[in-house]
Amino acid sequence: MDLDLKNTDAAREPTSRRLYVYNGGFLTQPRIRRILDLAGWDIQLGLPKEGDWVGTWGKSPTSGRGEKVSNWKNSPVLRVEDAFLRSVLPGRGGEGPLGLMLDDLGMHFDSSTPSRLETILATDPLDNSALLNRARDAMARIQAAHLSKYNAFDPALPPPTAPYVLVIDQTYGDASVAHSGASEARFREMLVEARLSHPHDRIYIKSHPETQHGHRGGYYGVEDENDQVTLITDPISPWELLAGAKAVYTVSSGMGFEAVLAGHKPRVFGQPFYAGWGLTEDEHPVDRRQRKLTRAQLFAAAMILFPTWYDPHRDQLCELETVIDMLEARSRAWREDHRGYVATGMRLWKRKPLAQFFHANHAMIFDDRPERAAKGAYDIARPLMVWAGKERPEHSTHTPPLRIEDGFLRSRGLGAALTPPLSLVRDDLGIYYDPTRESRLERFIAASPNLPTQAHVRADRLITRLTQQRIGKYNLACAAPDLSHLPKGKRILVPGQVEDDASIQLGTTEVSTNLALLQRTRADNPNAVIIYKPHPDVEAGLRDGQVAPEDLANLADFVAHDADHMALIGDVDEVWTMTSTLGFEALIRKVPVTCLGAPFYAGWGLTRDLGQVPARRHARPSLTALVHATLLDYPRYFDPKINAACPVEVVVDRLVAGDVPAPGRANRILAKLQGIFASYAHLWRR
Domains of the chain: 3-123 (3.40.50), 132-311 (3.40.50), 334-446 (no CATH), 453-657 (3.40.50)
- Given this model, what pLDDT does residue 240 score? 97
Q: What is the pLDDT of residues 18-45, one digit of tens each?
A: 999 999 999 999 999 999 999 999 999 9
For 46-50, 392-396, 411-415, 483-487, which range has the lowest pLDDT when averaged over its residues?
Answer: 411-415
Q: Mean pLDDT across the stretch 290-303?
A: 98
Percent of the chain at pLDDT > 90 equals 84
Give rounded-to-5 percent helix, strand, coil for the chain. 40, 15, 45
Separation of first and last alpha carbons in the chain: 49
Q: What is the pLDDT of residues 99-129, one digit of tens each?
A: 999 999 999 999 999 999 999 999 999 999 9
For 252-256, 521-525, 536-540, which range has the lowest pLDDT when averaged over its residues?
Answer: 536-540
- 374, exposed or middle or buried, with CB in 10 Å at 0-12, 13-18, 19+? buried
Q: Tell me the Cα Rg of the chain.
A: 29
- 513, exposed or middle or buried, with CB in 10 Å at 0-12, 13-18, 19+? middle
Q: What is the pLDDT of residues 546-570, one digit of tens each?
A: 999 999 999 999 999 988 989 999 9
- Other CB atoms closer than 10 Å to residue 614's CB: what's the count? 14
- Given this model, what pLDDT does residue 552 score? 95
- Given this model, what pLDDT does residue 662 score? 66
Nearest to 265 by CA among 253, 247, 285: 247
DSSP summary character for residue 7: T
Q: Mean pLDDT across the stretch 516-532?
A: 97
DSSP summary character for residue 306: S
* pLDDT exceeds cutoff 50 at 360: yes
- Asked if residues 84 and 70 have their Cβ atoms less than 8 Å apart, the reply is no
Q: How many CA atoms lie within 13 A of 573 on its CB side?
A: 9
- Given this model, what pLDDT does residue 664 score? 55
Alpha helices by DSSP H, 429-580: 440-447, 453-469, 502-507, 514-524, 536-539, 549-555, 565-570
- pLDDT-based confidence at 46, cuts 50/70/90? very high
Percent of the chain at pLDDT > 70 equals 93
- Given this model, what pLDDT does residue 127 score? 97
* pLDDT exceeds cutoff 60 at 260: yes
What's the rounded Cα separation, in Å, for the pair 527 and 267? 75
- Given this model, what pLDDT does residue 229 score? 98
Strand partners, 61: none
* pLDDT exceeds cutoff 90 at 415: no
- Given this model, what pLDDT does residue 575 score? 98
Q: Mean pLDDT across the stretch 77-98?
A: 92
What's the rounded Cα separation, in Å, for the pair 136 and 418? 44
Q: What is the pLDDT of residues 302-342, one digit of tens each?
A: 999 999 999 999 999 999 999 999 999 999 999 999 999 99
Q: What is the pLDDT of residues 476-508, one digit of tens each?
A: 888 889 999 999 999 999 999 999 999 999 999
* pLDDT exceeds cutoff 60 at 375: yes
DSSP summary character for residue 236: B
Show Cβ contacts of residue 146 under 8 Å, excluding neighbours closer than 6 positions. 153, 155, 237, 238, 239, 240, 331
645 vs 682, which has greater pLDDT?
Answer: 645
- Asked if residues 534 and 561 have their Cβ atoms less than 8 Å apart, the reply is yes
* Letter string b/e over residues 551-566, b meaning 16 or more CB atoms within 10 A of that residue's CB: ebeebbbbbbeebbbb
* pLDDT exceeds cutoff 50 at 8: no
- Asked if residues 405 and 431 have their Cβ atoms less than 8 Å apart, the reply is yes
- Given this model, what pLDDT does residue 102 score? 98
* pLDDT exceeds cutoff 60 at 676: no
* pLDDT exceeds cutoff 80 at 679: no
Q: Mean pLDDT across the stretch 192-199?
A: 98
- pLDDT-based confidence at 686, cuts 50/70/90? very low
pTM (2 decimals)? 0.92
Q: What is the pLDDT of residues 136-162, one digit of tens each?
A: 999 999 999 999 999 999 999 999 999
